[in-house]
Structure 1
């Protein structure tokens, strides 16, 4: 026969306590005894307990008493009852269903080895939301409920017989046999709050008892302490620090020795990583809590050793039974994806104290990794991911010769890609550059960007550039799809926008001409558009992110900044007087690139023409000076790799049709305004002899957004008459004609052009072998009646070195000597080259006969080799290798450190922070739990002895 004593512990819980007491006293299976404990409440909780249970059944303890101490005191004073005695532990914010106790006892009868049972917990306000069906723990000590965020209870987790074997159940509604309580010495007083239930259930498992969650028993829990709905008096620590510390303590106190050692190293590494993430998320308090919690456990080894000694019996033998109930090794892919999605959505990481149960299982953030089929299905069914895969397939089909060339990737504006991330970092940070004739100018900041990308690719610059350049089409499509999630709710319109944007003539022209900088800008432009909408709304965080991305784009092409600054000025005039804070946000967004790129921008301002130049080799043949106005109006910049003008006709046609709609006229007008601005700027850039791809990419963005925002009207036409349906079908066909035609022509014609994937190292092996002191090599290229040359510093050129400026006098003198050498004058010209450290002269094969004869006829040159690959000549006589100046520019080094600090600061300011609003208050009103008639205990005269 069962005897049940309900113990309700209250601490400033009057907000929930009355409902809790009503639910306890209305159980369909009447209680045998009741006891209440008031831990120093200041809100009348003690009075409510006395009214419900009687003054003689209520104890008063100090505010510093924890839940376990309160239960211990009741059990110590309470005489034993007849039969099988159970203790039913209840929080003041936990209201059980009227049939909860009967369901728990029925499960106990059916499972004789069960010593601890707990009900299914649902949310106090939204009573459909699951909080817990038992809990487990990861090997990092983080509690895990295994539930999705705000998952509704539809019986999906109920066991086959209404019970689930679990590692632990919450003390909110825990039913435990008294003899087991006394055998295990109850809740550990070292854990006055949080994780005391996990520790008790773990010890029960080790002792051979079962712990069950009874899914037919339901209770509603407010989680007032973990959600910070009341002040915690048992500790001065923040709830998150206390929660994390106790979690670490429990797992380290109960693990076997070898598992403990692994856990210590795992948690040290994990805590350091989480600290960095918290700092990036602008949560310094949580970062401090993370470190303080770990230090509190490891810094007090005496307490940990004492706890381990108390738990020594059966720990190793019983561990397998516990370990099988741990969080499955690495089951965190789903949680990681959810965290990243929330982060990108601007919600920011949520600390565990605020999210602990409401977000379900999201606390064990990553010890190992395990493929999650649900996550895989969600990813592969996403339209954005499917579009990305489709565009990747199109790119592979078009660029197959480039991918299988077997040599270096280069040509057009791209130098053959050599070197690694360390070479680029050295180029960016060094005070004096040995490239060319030597240079003391600042390395272009895009070198640092490519170096950072190369670092992410394990130092492989060639792979990073290949992914960035050849992958710009699928990456631009994915960027456009993700960036428009807040602008455009109609999914087919987003897919069309992203596909059309990715396959613009600008994109195919970028790849064919090897324009790495424009490829990155093409990927960033959708992000500019998405962030700009939030900047004009006054968002500071978006302004910092916008400024950082704008600095990255301007590092490759300063014209990007000019365009955005003009549009930003117009936005300030338009919205500055309407929305508060717009001026400051725009100032942050436009001022950040100036600060981050300051020294390099000074050099750009001194040569205004460089504003029109993008990164890479400046080759006039890459821009079509005869590009027509019609082509520019059709968003076609001309040059290698661009399709016929008519390909974008479908896009322009549907965009013109959008002008006829009466709705969304403001949005359409803004989009067309951006388009006309971009086209006009493209005309100017083209007339100045530069490639107008970037202005046309901005123009296309405005056109696509304006059109896609009105595309939902097509869905309305489909529900109308036959003629409107036919009209809607015609619009869809015309709209998709652009990406389909562009993809087909691109695959048929290939992605190559000046860009090739089979280039050789421009420095002959013999020259590299005989340049021990860094002797320079003159590379001469006769092309179409003109001669270009490059000076190699004993190695192949690196990305970014072509943008370095050597002293004008030296450049002019060497240029004259090269021209004289090619014309056959010789003599003093070779001595001039030798004075600048030039030991070798080379020309790629097949070498022109006129150049070969001129070099062979020069007595001061000796031919070393001549073949179809190229020719190599060596200077006869003494060559003076210029020595680089000693490192002594303190300003240069100081600015690099300052720039790194500024970038880190902007990253922190741009990253999402923690949400401060409590999820608890977001649920709204919820139905009340079912009620039955009020019942008193069977023996109300049985009181807790005072």
Structure 2
């Protein structure tokens, strides 16, 4: 029994090309009615037909079984259980299909030969034996119900088989079902991590770059051509692989057995990948439908561990486990917990069944081919890592659009000696570079800001540490910052357990990323704050205004606001960080508040997304750590947003906004606890920011109105009067009232907080909020202002608008020029981080751990600091402010400065003070008093500072006993591990540190009893015996536990704030933007060059129309349909020639597009939910009625009359049951020289294939104003 389908390009005789190759097609269907008609059509119209067809339906719930029976006949369709896997279905079909012999295929013993010139069988002039073609080679052609072979696919596969007799398995090139030029596979391999490796880029287009016949590790089971003897030798697909990775395992086994696997790229098939892309359920891998990702993961692990040779097995197993854990973490971060679970379940499903793996390895044996010969067929080492990195990089790097690429580096090249027509074009092209900058000013903006900042910060780029103003020097390594933040005991002054400021953790995190350099981190946050703030403002303003030039102006103006430059000059780290993050926070706040939602969307139930809320909460946490005032500002703005929604009657948004605002405001308080609790208990501290309290002159009310908070390099607010006026003018715009009102609400809130801050601290943070809001309002008001003003009659509006525009445009330019000339330095400078003489800092590292008492202040108010090491460091100011008052030390310093005349040396020695330093600028009376104080000796006087030394022995840790001098004991900064001699009974160990419950000490492993000495110092009862002494501080378990919880909560917020991983279900569909715009012609620009190019294009089109009758308005050539066997030209040319009519959605009321993606039915958007398809997702019969019959008026809309035989309904292919050898035609009347077909066919009608403009790349996005914005920039 053989099958020879009538094909549009079939041979004139009944003998196929490559006659010794006998092909049995095996088609497996499972809920594939959506794709099955085209798959059957592709099978039945092959140029080189198959000799037999057998189909297996695995319990389809749709019309797949009926479609198979109608097309192939009931006797050719097997009905199997729904849980039958693909390999099991193929095995059953192969077992059922007999091996065809000469009785079934008579031409196997026919005399004659194939004439390649006429592409026909010639019976004349040949004298050949009984089997002139040699012994027949039996092949199995495996087909999916969602793959459609091209008409010449089988011929190309057999051509490769004929050229390579040793080939046992041959595979086709797979293209996408929907995007006909997108490559899916040209051979496949598997990485050591289990990744399916195709070697293709994402959405790579087929341009013939992979069209070489070559050996590969594996080919896809969709279209696989495998010799039947090899299939039976290897036992077919492994039953443990019900669906996925079965092809890789089978081909790997074939390679190990010495067989050759080739890829034949001339054979092309279109594959929908319905199961892997979740377009239908997977029922063969469990008791119920499972996720295909889990099936693929289990198949990958099984394939690797079953086929890897012994020496490499431990390495591969370890890599699979580690890679699974990393991918699980990546899926969790990408907010795809389902796939994370699939990774773990898929791995454990294989590893927990070692018996199956061992049995599989025994069945495979050792193989006949050494692994070294197969190694080139696997991905090279590191290929998967490089591919992942390239994909991540490509997601963040955009590609130049076509318009920009057209005027690239050589876009303006012209021939020498331009004529009259070329001269104007050449003159215009001289401005191409300026146009490109105007179209994409982002990179140029960052470069300009960076150059200006480097020029202004020229004195801040040398050696030394950044310090001065509000900034204290930082420790050189990130580990010091981590220790300060994570430790519960802080060795500052006499020590304490106060909470460290959380911004130290942020600095430590960035310093860790920057190779542990805290200096580089501070340089990035301070010196680079101006260009970074400008760049973030530019990109954050994208949804605000369309004009890139307006965005660039607003970004430059924001970067050079007095608060931003003043923060850099005064070392205000908190304000500098706020300047960088504030534009991004404003964009996230607008999205979280739903400002982009219209009234109609709100009425439809659309609500703001949670991701923007969590992103805003994360950034608010960071800024609150540096500038706590941002939290109350956010609180007020949240209340304003709620009140505004309530005033507009949008009560449906109140509950969603309340939940989002609660998450927004609670998150910083939780993540920053316990430090944040001090802000709630002392609200006045919210006006502080990171660093030393650096007081400046209070700004006036006019300065605040003009965006100047006062202080070094923060003046010149009068330059920004144009910005304020532009923001006021925006209130006159009749459109975009919501955005302008929101901007002004934020501006008023920022101004109010600036007034509050101005009386107590620097008003820079609130002024930044005020300035950014004004710039946003000004940019919104300026967009399209020229058209609005031009539409009104000439009057006062035109000159006033011109003056405001001139003042606003000049403001950032003048501010940048002034800042660059004057320099960015102020109190902030590069200096030696040591605040004490070098020898004093060196002594502080010895076992005595001596300290220095630093004095400053005025006659009326004395300030002091008890310094360890080389001086105070970043974060010490907040720790000192949070420390409990030390009244005993206050009394010692007061008596010392007052000059009581008593010996102060012993009292200072009790605090381990060895040196007293009067800083530069301290009152002269300090020097006179300290010179006359007993127990102190002047050491030096340099750079305006004065130094005295305490005469008494000084040590941080001493042994004291009655009637004896203290004995010093060597110790570290906190801990001590040393030996102590024996001594009298009743002695005590004294520490010059405050008493706290965490202190512990032991002598030879025996714990010592803690005591409090002198009312404040930590001590221990020391026995008379000597031994090894160990002293330390135990971190409370609650503190360590909270740090872990804090890190986990931070990770959760980061994950929630990150964009989710894009699902790959419809990755092969055409871009939605291009598909939506495919039927909308793009409008040309209105410029002079655009008109010239349009005229040239019109002339070229007219010339082409003159050569093409169809384009010139003549009746187009008829699109030929399927040819009859009695056609004299039958087989002489392809079935479809000439130009096809473009698809017109209006001409087809049914809306059918043969290359459109699957309809978005149901919550998952792919036509099914759970294990069953939604009601109404498919028409009965598995095809769209529009596919079968053209709508009325179709021929008028398209310009083509329907081809004969296309008017009727869809007619399924039918194979009526016939006995073997039955000839449906009387002898001599079959048009085949009396040979006939072993299986007859009636005349088949095939539906027309409309042209899809999206199939070869979507059109550019449509914009009502053409390819350019009003400012001349391109849309992106």
Classify the TM-score, shorter chain.
0.7 to 0.9
Moved more, 511-520 or 283-292: 283-292
Aligned to 1:631: 703
Within the candidate set 260, 266, 277, 1:209 is matched to 260
1:727 Cα offset (Å): 11
Question: What is the CA deviation profile of residues 12-45 of structure 1, one whole-angstrom value per residue up to 9, with x for unaligned ones?
Answer: 3233333422332233332221111122334343
Instruction: Work out the CA distance in 2 between the residues paired with 1:389 and 1:480.
Output: 15
Whether 2:519 is the aligned partner of 1:462: answer: yes
Aligned to 2:246: 196
Aligned to 2:694: 619
1:205 Cα offset (Å): 5.3
Whether 2:935 is the aligned partner of 1:860: answer: yes
Aligned to 1:565: 635
Whether 2:41 is the aligned partner of 1:22: answer: yes
Check 1:110–1:857 CA distance in 2 against 1; reply closer, same or farther (3 A cut): farther
1:718 Cα offset (Å): 13
1:419 Cα offset (Å): 5.2
1:66 Cα offset (Å): 1.7
Contact map agreement 1:119 1:215 (CA 8 A) in 2: yes
Aligned to 2:541: 484
Using the size of structure 1 for normalisation, the TM-score is 0.84
Aligned to 2:285: 234
Instruction: Give RMSD over aligned pairs.
Output: 4.1
Aligned to 1:651: 723
Contact map agreement 2:72 2:1213 (CA 8 A) in 1: no
Aligned to 1:886: 997
SS of the equivalent of 1:434 reads coil
1:572 Cα offset (Å): 0.9
Aligned to 2:471: 414
SS of the equivalent of 2:784 reads helix
Check 1:297–1:388 CA distance in 2 against 1; reply closer, same or farther (3 A cut): farther
Aligned to 2:1081: none
Contact map agreement 1:541 1:909 (CA 8 A) in 2: yes
Contact map agreement 1:391 1:474 (CA 8 A) in 2: yes
Instruction: Work out the CA distance in 1 between the residues paired with 2:216 and 2:869.
Output: 68
Moved more, 496-505 or 723-732: 723-732
Whether 2:619 is the aligned partner of 1:549: answer: yes
Give matches, 1:679-690, under 5 Å: 679-686=751-758, 688-690=759-761
Aligned to 1:747: 820
Contact map agreement 2:172 2:224 (CA 8 A) in 1: yes
Aligned to 1:780: 855
Moved more, 630-639 or 854-863: 854-863
Give matches, 1:350-749, under 5 Å: 384=442, 387-404=445-462, 406-418=463-475, 420-537=477-594, 538-576=608-646, 577-578=649-650, 579-580=652-653, 581-620=656-695, 623-625=696-698, 627-642=699-714, 644-686=716-758, 688-713=759-784, 735-749=808-822
Check 1:662–1:259 CA distance in 2 against 1; reply closer, same or farther (3 A cut): farther
Aligned to 1:757: 830
Contact map agreement 2:191 2:379 (CA 8 A) in 1: no
Check 1:106–1:666 CA distance in 2 against 1; reply closer, same or farther (3 A cut): same
1:754 Cα offset (Å): 1.0
Aligned to 1:314: 369
Instruction: Work out the CA distance in 2 between the residues paired with 1:641 and 1:222.
Output: 63
Contact map agreement 1:30 1:935 (CA 8 A) in 2: no
Check 1:321–1:794 CA distance in 2 against 1; reply closer, same or farther (3 A cut): closer
1:514 Cα offset (Å): 1.2
Question: What is the CA deviation profile of residues 265-314 of structure 1, one whole-angstrom value per residue up to 9, with x for unaligned ones?
Answer: 43333222222222334433322322333334445555445555536321
Aligned to 1:35: 54
Instruction: Work out the CA distance in 1 between the residues paired with 2:384 and 2:291.
Output: 29
Aligned to 2:1050: 903
Instruction: Work out the CA distance in 2 between the residues paired with 1:885 and 1:84.
Output: 90
Check 1:732–1:201 CA distance in 2 against 1; reply closer, same or farther (3 A cut): farther
1:865 Cα offset (Å): 4.4
1:413 Cα offset (Å): 0.8
Instruction: Work out the CA distance in 2 between the residues paired with 1:181 and 1:784.
Output: 100
Contact map agreement 1:717 1:728 (CA 8 A) in 2: no
Question: What is the CA deviation profile of residues 837-896 of structure 1, one whole-angstrom value per residue up to 9, with x for unaligned ones?
Answer: 433212456998765454333331134444449554222225572354132866655544
Instruction: Work out the CA distance in 1 between the residues paired with 2:836 and 2:255.
Output: 70
1:478 Cα offset (Å): 3.3
Within the candidate set 223, 231, 244, 2:274 is matched to 223
Within the candidate set 801, 809, 817, 2:876 is matched to 801
1:185 Cα offset (Å): 4.4
Instruction: Work out the CA distance in 2 between the residues paired with 1:697 and 1:337.
Output: 33
Instruction: Work out the CA distance in 1 between the residues paired with 2:137 and 2:1047.
Output: 68
Instruction: Work out the CA distance in 1 between the residues paired with 2:556 and 2:343.
Output: 44
Q: Is there any run of 5+ residues in structure 2 with no aligned partner, and where? A: 1-17, 102-107, 109-135, 399-435, 595-607, 955-990, 999-1033, 1076-1150, 1156-1186, 1189-1202, 1206-1211, 1222-1276
Contact map agreement 1:101 1:217 (CA 8 A) in 2: no
Contact map agreement 1:775 1:881 (CA 8 A) in 2: no
Within the candidate set 357, 382, 386, 1:330 is matched to 386
Give matches, 1:41-190, under 5 Å: 41-77=60-96, 78-80=98-100, 83-106=136-159, 108-109=161-162, 115-125=168-178, 127=180, 130-147=183-200, 149=202, 153=205, 155-159=206-210, 167-182=217-232, 184-190=234-240
Check 1:751–1:830 CA distance in 2 against 1; reply closer, same or farther (3 A cut): farther
User: For the pair shown, which has the larger CA radius of gyration, 1 or 2?
Assistant: 2
1:52 Cα offset (Å): 1.9
Contact map agreement 2:571 2:827 (CA 8 A) in 1: yes
Instruction: Work out the CA distance in 2 between the residues paired with 1:784 and 1:638.
Output: 28
| Aligned residue pair count | 898
Instruction: Work out the CA distance in 1 between the residues paired with 2:152 and 2:912.
Output: 93
Instruction: Work out the CA distance in 1 between the residues paired with 2:281 and 2:528.
Output: 52
Contact map agreement 1:33 1:938 (CA 8 A) in 2: no
Aligned to 2:1171: none
Instruction: Work out the CA distance in 2 between the residues paired with 1:708 and 1:648.
Output: 14
Check 1:829–1:572 CA distance in 2 against 1; reply closer, same or farther (3 A cut): farther
Aligned to 2:132: none
Contact map agreement 2:87 2:237 (CA 8 A) in 1: yes
Check 1:271–1:222 CA distance in 2 against 1; reply closer, same or farther (3 A cut): closer
SS of the equivalent of 1:804 reads helix
Moved more, 240-249 or 572-581: 572-581
1:182 Cα offset (Å): 4.5
Instruction: Work out the CA distance in 1 between the residues paired with 2:728 and 2:870.
Output: 54
Q: Structure 1 or 2: larger helix share?
A: 1
Instruction: Work out the CA distance in 1 between the residues paired with 2:190 and 2:859.
Output: 72
1:613 Cα offset (Å): 1.2
Question: What is the CA deviation profile of residues 153-190 of structure 1, one whole-angstrom value per residue up to 9, with x for unaligned ones?
Answer: 5x4355457x6775543222223343444455443333
SS of the equivalent of 1:521 reads helix
SS of the equivalent of 1:37 reads strand
1:415 Cα offset (Å): 0.9
Check 1:818–1:296 CA distance in 2 against 1; reply closer, same or farther (3 A cut): same
Instruction: Work out the CA distance in 2 between the residues paired with 1:164 and 1:479.
Output: 50
Contact map agreement 1:387 1:478 (CA 8 A) in 2: yes
Aligned to 1:351: none
Contact map agreement 1:526 1:701 (CA 8 A) in 2: yes
Contact map agreement 1:9 1:91 (CA 8 A) in 2: yes
Q: Is there any run of 5+ residues in structure 1 with no aligned partner, and where? A: 343-377
1:582 Cα offset (Å): 1.5
1:782 Cα offset (Å): 5.8
Instruction: Work out the CA distance in 1 between the residues paired with 2:480 and 2:725.
Output: 49
1:662 Cα offset (Å): 2.8
Higher relative contact order (CA 8 A, sep 6+): 1
